[in-house]
Each structure stands twice: as structure tokens, then as C-alpha cells.
Structure 1
Amino acid sequence: MGSIQTKKINKTLSSAHNDVRIAHILNKYREKVLITTSFGTTSALLIHMVSRIRPNHPIHFIDTGYLFPETIEYKNTLIERYGVNVIDHVPNERKHRITQKGSMWESNPDLCCHYNKVEPLDEVKEGHEVWISGLIGYQNSYRSGLEILQKRDDLHRYYPLIDWTRDMVDDYFESYGIPRHPLERFGFDSIGCIHCTKKGEGRDGRWGESGKTECGLHL
């Protein structure tokens, strides 16, 4: 997909229903499509949609070793309910120990994320052409500037939910009776690793006052 074609596809998909957006890519690229999830507060949207279109398609999950027990509980709940094919990945054991020993999430959160999230996913990206993830624009200013489809590095990034509003998200959860993340009712709007997640609206509760807003996967 060249840049001109990418613009054309974005224009076409801007008015398409989300099932159509996802089915278009899955049907065209099939095994070349990488789907990821964090099992955060809005992750169930993409999981539910994939389960209705192609439930056996692999959905890749990075378990950083620092996740809330409630996130693992939520993951198991959604897998059982929707029968999706989730594949777990973990960071390099030696590098993970380094982040533990030095509490790297405090001294160098970017490197901590790189070791525990970015590097494990880099190994998974090989052989794929399109990467689907459930980023939503209202979550922060960086995400609000993303388009549905764009070329990044060696992959096309595909964000079928990027133009959704908070009301659309809430309506979808309610309409399909999708369970919410257990921590959401306690004021956690965005949930990542234990050490770097606090209560807050949008992604305000991530990485405290460090100024960091993204783990690095989507930059």
C-alpha cells in the first residue's frame, strides 16, 4: 500500500462500520495481520469484534510480569466468554530481572517498557504486514492525531477504533453486555503495569508526573 492508496483507504474507511473495517483487513491480508491487546479498559471492544469476524485469528498479548492480578482475571474472563485465540508473550528473563533489581520503572521507565513490552512484540512483528490495535483517539493528544490506517516502519498500523468517542465506547459495552475491567469502577481509566498506573481520567494515571504518555509500542 503506497501513500496515495493509504489516503484513499482512509477516506473510504472513515464512514465504514467497524465490523467492515476489521473484516476488510482480515479478509485481504489473513495471516499477515497482527492483532494485539493489553486487556485494558477498552480492549474488549476489539476482542469482541474479532470474535464475531474471525475468532480463531491469533490475538497477541504481552505479559510484562508487572500486570495487575485483575488484568489477568479480566483476560481469562474475556477468553472464556468469546473463545478468542490469545497467544501470550513474556519479556527476556535476564532483562526482566534487570528491571526488577533496579526498580527501573522509577529510574528509566522508557527502558523498562522497552525491555518488557517493545522487545517482546518486535519478535512477533516479523512476517506481518498490517498491525491492528485498539487505540482510541480521545485517550490522549498523541492518539487523537492518528488516522485509521498509516504506514510506520515496516508495518501498516491499523486503528479501527481511533475515531470513537467515549459515548460510543460506553454504548458498545452496554449494547453487547461486555464485562468491564474490574479496576475501572475504582477510578482506573487506563491500566498498564502496577508500578506505573494510578487512578485517573484517560491516560492521566499512567507514569505519574514523568511526562511519559506512551509505552513505546505505538510511537
Structure 2
Amino acid sequence: MESMEIEKINKTLSNAHNDVRIAHILNKYRDEVLITTSFGTTSALLIHMISRIRPRHPIHFVNTGYLFPETLEYKDKLIDRYGINVIDHVPDKEKHRITREDELWKDNPDLCCHYNKVEPLAKIKKNHKVWISGLIGYQNSYRSGLEILQERDDLYRYYPLIDWSPEMVEDYFESFGIPRHPLERFGYDSIGCTHCTKKGEGREGRWGDSGKTECGLHW
């Protein structure tokens, strides 16, 4: 796909309803579409849309081994409610052991994320052509610069929610009665692993004062 074609698609999809955005890619690429979720505070938006369009399409989830119990409970709740087909993945046992024993999240959070999240997903990515994920632009400065569709590392990245506003997110949750992550009401706007998540607005509660803003999946 040429850059001019990608630019044309982005322009067309910028005015399209989100169901149309997702259906367009799922119908065109079908089994070559990778869908991922973290079961974070806004993950249910994409999950709900997929459940309406193609509920049995695999949705891949990486359990780092350091997630909040509430996140795993939320995962089960959404699976029960929407009948989605979630495929679980875990990190390499030996590398996970190293991160746990050396407490890598303190001195080398990038490597900790790489072992526990990036590497497990890398094995899956190579079998797909398009990757759909629920990133939203207002969540941080990096995400605000992303387009709906772009080509990265021989894989098309597709972010159907990237141009949503906080008001659109709230309205969607309320309109469809979608359950919220149980930790939201305690002040957690963005939720990842227990060691690297604190209360805070947006993604300011992730990775403390380290300057890190992403786990590395979406670079």
C-alpha cells in the first residue's frame, strides 16, 4: 500500500462511523487482522464494537503476570457479557523470573516491558497484516500524533478510536451501559502492571517520574 493510498484512506475514514472503520478492515483482511486489548480503562470501547461486528474474531491479551486482580476480574466480566473470543498469552517463564527476582521494573522498566509484553506479542504479529488496537489520541502526546492507519515494520497499524475526545468516550460508555474498570472509581485513569501504576489523570500514573510513557508495543 503506497503512502498516497494510506493518506487517502485516512481522509475517507476520518468522517466515517467507527463501526464502518472497523468493518472495513475486518471485511478486507479477515484472518490477517490482529486485535489486541489490555483490559484497561478504555479497552471496553473496542471490545464492544468488535462484539457487534464480528464477535468470534480472536482478541489477543498478554497477561504480564503483574496485573491487578481487578483487571483480570474485569476481563472475565467483559468476556461473559459480550461473548468475545479472547486468546491469552504469557511471557517466557525464564525471562519473567528474571524480571521478578531482579525487580527490573525499578531500574530497567523498558526491559521489563519488553520481556513481559512486547516479546509475547511479537510472536503473534508476524502472522498478521493489520493490527487493530484501541489507542486514543488524547491519552498522551505520542498517541496524539498518530493517524487512523499507518504502516510500521511491515504491519499496518489501525487505530479506529485515535481521534476520539474524552466526551465521546464517556458518551459511548453511558449510551451502551458498558461496565467500567473497577479501579477507575479509585482514581486510576490508566491501568497497567501493579508495580508501575499509580492513581492519576490520563497516563500520568504510569511509570511514575521515569519519563516512560509507553510499554513499547506501539512504537
Residue 200 of structure 2: aligned partner: 200
Runs of 4+ in 1 over 3 A off after TM superposition: none
Q: Percent identity?
A: 79
Specify every segment of 5 or more residues in structure 2 that has no aligned partner in the other structure, as ranges.
none
Residue 95 of structure 1: aligned partner: 95
- Give the AA of the match of 1:75: K
Is 1:182 aligned to 2:182, yes or no? Answer: yes
Deviations 1:4-56 (A, max 9, x none): 11001000000000000000000000000000000000000000000000000
Taking the aligned partners of 1:127 and 1:90, their CA distance within structure 2 comes to: 18
What is the alpha-carbon root mean square deviation over aligned residues?
0.4
Deviations 1:65-106 (A, max 9, x none): 000000000000000000000000000000000000000000
- Give the AA of the match of 1:157: R
The count of residues paired between Structure 1 and Structure 2 equals 219
Is 1:33 aligned to 2:33, yes or no? Answer: yes
Taking the aligned partners of 2:2 and 2:188, their CA distance within structure 1 comes to: 39
* CA apart distance, 1:127: 1.7
**Any idea what SS the aligned residue of 1:46 has?**
helix
**Any idea what SS the aligned residue of 1:34 has?**
strand
TM-score (norm 1): 1.00
Taking the aligned partners of 2:92 and 2:3, their CA distance within structure 1 comes to: 36
Specify every segment of 5 or more residues in structure 1 that has no aligned partner in the other structure, as ranges.
none
Residue 140 of structure 1: aligned partner: 140
Residue 212 of structure 1: aligned partner: 212
Taking the aligned partners of 2:189 and 2:211, their CA distance within structure 1 comes to: 17
- Give the AA of the match of 1:50: I
Residue 128 of structure 1: aligned partner: 128
Taking the aligned partners of 1:161 and 1:150, their CA distance within structure 2 comes to: 14
- Give the AA of the match of 2:21: R
* CA apart distance, 1:179: 0.3
**Any idea what SS the aligned residue of 1:215 has?**
coil
Deviations 1:154-173 (A, max 9, x none): 10000000000000000000
* CA apart distance, 1:2: 1.6
* CA apart distance, 1:217: 0.1
**Any idea what SS the aligned residue of 2:15 has?**
coil
Taking the aligned partners of 1:107 and 1:28, their CA distance within structure 2 comes to: 44
